[in-house]
């Protein structure tokens, strides 16, 4: 993994070879990462990979065992949590139940003894930003869950932190509200220009809101790039498998031309063709990560396809706008193919036990080493 840098962007946060140990256990393993100013950044990974530990180190609740974390060019280690230009919004929101929405938002400013005019101006600005003007005098139990979430956001932005940490910020909301709130979060992040770092278990959420996503595993970053690159060009089997659905087709490579490979595999007699800018040597084991929507399904053998195999439909998952077909090849491998349910396709839909042909182009997948 090579940290990706763009000279046009200024890093706000720099992790420099940061390791965090709890006793013998390494929670963060020699991690180097830049997070830029005004960026909406997501940390994504399975439970226990170290996401919360990263957030806690940024907030100041934990110190690295070794390495340095910089905020705006200065080591943050000597600064206690309340002296950092960092705020953290918790999943539980932690609103004060006996205070009004207004007073909840004003709380941090009052503690800092901000003048009453400046305080009122700032709270009004935050109420407007989060569309809560009408609810200023209500208590938290008199507003909806979505509105409470916005109060928590307004409160954490009131002191204009350079960095806002969001730990599962939408976890308490139902699916529909969650989606609407994702767009709202993006809008507020853009308007304030604050750097947001979000931790979420929901990969779709991370891909929706974030400008860049870091995929983590066991205290290390496996890939950090835009959501599109993470999905379209995963750099490892781990990332390909972690994000979205994927077929992994394994075989051995044979170079046949400029960035062209024939892959010998267990299915059928013919190799399949794949394009890859990453070099593979003769006979090197490799895996094609192929997204289901890149596999086409046909009733007859598609004569012009670069790669075509036949198989039998085992299962169909109907998802409304899409259908996913699980097709078993003669050798036993199951390939998932996803089609959009436009009218044209649904008129000619396939059913269980049908024998069908699957095809994909040589550029449809990503060829990865072991």
Q: CB of 27: closest distance to ligand ATP in angstroms? A: 4
Contact 155, 135 (CB under 8 A): no
Q: CB of 167: closest distance to ligand ATP in angstroms? A: 8
Instruction: Pick one of 27, 143, 210, 240: the residue that binds ligand ATP (CB under 6 A).
Output: 27
Phi and psi at 95, nearest 5°, equal -80, 155
124: which residues sit within 8 A by CB, 6+ positions away? 133
Q: CB of 89: closest distance to ligand ATP in angstroms? A: 15
Q: CB of 206: closest distance to ligand ATP in angstroms? A: 12
Determine if 203 is a binding residue for ligand ATP (CB under 6 A): no
Q: State in Å, rounded, how far the first CA of the chain is from the last one.
A: 15
Instruction: List the interface residues with ligand ATP, window 58-97 (CB under 6 A).
Output: none
- Determine the interface stretch with ligand ATP among 47-55, 77-85, 347-355, 356-364 (rule: CB under 6 A): 47-55
d(CA 197, CA 212) in angstroms, rounded, equals: 10
Q: CB of 36: closest distance to ligand ATP in angstroms? A: 22
Six token digits for residue 49: 């990979």
DSSP code string of 301-352: --TT-SEEEEEEEEEEEE-SSEEEEEEE-TTS-EEEEEEE--HHHHHT---T
Instruction: Pick one of 42, 52, 178, 189: the residue that binds ligand ATP (CB under 6 A).
Output: 52
CA angle 123, 129, 130 (to 5 degrees): 95
Instruction: Pick one of 15, 35, 41, 50: the residue that binds ligand ATP (CB under 6 A).
Output: 50
Contact 327, 337 (CB under 8 A): yes
Instruction: Pick one of 14, 51, 122, 148: the residue that binds ligand ATP (CB under 6 A).
Output: 51
d(CA 248, CA 366) in angstroms, rounded, equals: 10
Question: Which CB, 31 or 337, lies closer to ligand ATP?
Answer: 31
Q: CB of 278: closest distance to ligand ATP in angstroms? A: 29
Q: CB of 253: closest distance to ligand ATP in angstroms? A: 35
d(CA 48, CA 239) in angstroms, rounded, equals: 16
d(CA 173, CA 345) in angstroms, rounded, equals: 35
CA 286 from centre of chain:
26
Q: CB of 190: closest distance to ligand ATP in angstroms? A: 26
Determine if 49 is a binding residue for ligand ATP (CB under 6 A): yes
Instruction: Pick one of 24, 25, 78, 348: the residue that binds ligand ATP (CB under 6 A).
Output: 25
Determine if 332 is a binding residue for ligand ATP (CB under 6 A): no
Determine if 24 is a binding residue for ligand ATP (CB under 6 A): no
Question: Which CB, 53 or 323, lies closer to ligand ATP?
Answer: 53
Question: Which CB, 25 or 320, lies closer to ligand ATP?
Answer: 25
Instruction: Pick one of 4, 17, 22, 118: the residue that binds ligand ATP (CB under 6 A).
Output: 22
By CB under 6 A, the count of residues binding ligand ATP is 11
Contact 291, 244 (CB under 8 A): yes
HSE value, Cβ hemisphere, 13 Å, CA-based, for 106: 19
Q: Is 35 helix (H, G, I), strand (E, B) or coil?
A: strand
Task: Give contact residues for ligand ATP (rule: CB under 6 A).
Answer: 22, 25, 27, 45, 47-53
């Amino acid at each position: 993994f090579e940290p990706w840098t763009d000279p046009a962007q200024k890093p706000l946060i720099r992790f420099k070879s940061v390791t965090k140990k709890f006793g013998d256990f390494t929670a963060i393993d020699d991690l180097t990462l830049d997070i830029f100013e005004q960026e909406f950044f997501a940390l994504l990974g399975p439970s226990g990979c170290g996401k919360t530990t990263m957030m806690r180190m940024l907030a100041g609740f934990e110190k690295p065992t070794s390495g340095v974390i910089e905020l705006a060019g200065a080591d943050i280690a000597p600064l206690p949590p309340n002296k950092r230009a960092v705020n953290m919004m918790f999943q539980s929101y932690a609103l004060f139940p006996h205070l009004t929405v207004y007073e909840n938002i004003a709380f941090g400013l009052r503690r800092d003894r901000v003048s009453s005019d400046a305080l009122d101006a700032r709270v009004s600005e935050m109420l407007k930003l989060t569309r809560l003007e009408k609810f200023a005098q209500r208590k938290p139990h008199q507003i909806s869950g979505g509105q409470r979430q916005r109060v928590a956001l307004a409160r954490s932005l009131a002191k204009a932190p350079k960095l806002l940490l969001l730990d599962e910020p939408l976890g308490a909301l139902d699916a529909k509200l969650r989606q609407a709130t994702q767009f709202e979060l993006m809008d507020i992040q853009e308007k304030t220009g604050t750097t947001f770092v979000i931790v979420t278990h929901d990969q779709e959420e991370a891909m929706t809101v974030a400008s860049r996503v870091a995929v983590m595993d066991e205290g290390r970053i496996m890939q950090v790039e835009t959501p599109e690159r993470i999905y379209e060009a995963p750099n490892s089997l781990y990332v390909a498998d972690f994000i979205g659905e994927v077929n992994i087709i394994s075989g051995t490579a044979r170079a046949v031309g400029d960035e062209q490979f024939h892959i010998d595999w267990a299915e059928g007699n013919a190799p399949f063709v794949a394009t890859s800018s990453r070099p593979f040597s003769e006979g090197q084991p490799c895996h094609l990560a192929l997204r289901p929507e890149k596999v086409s399904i046909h009733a007859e053998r598609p004569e012009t396809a670069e790669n075509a195999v036949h198989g039998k439909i085992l299962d169909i998952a109907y998802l409304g706008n899409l259908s996913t077909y699980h097709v078993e090849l003669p050798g036993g491998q199951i390939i998932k193919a996803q089609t959009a349910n436009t009218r044209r396709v649904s008129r000619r839909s396939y059913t269980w036990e049908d024998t069908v042909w699957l095809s994909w182009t040589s550029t449809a997948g990503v060829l990865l080493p072991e």
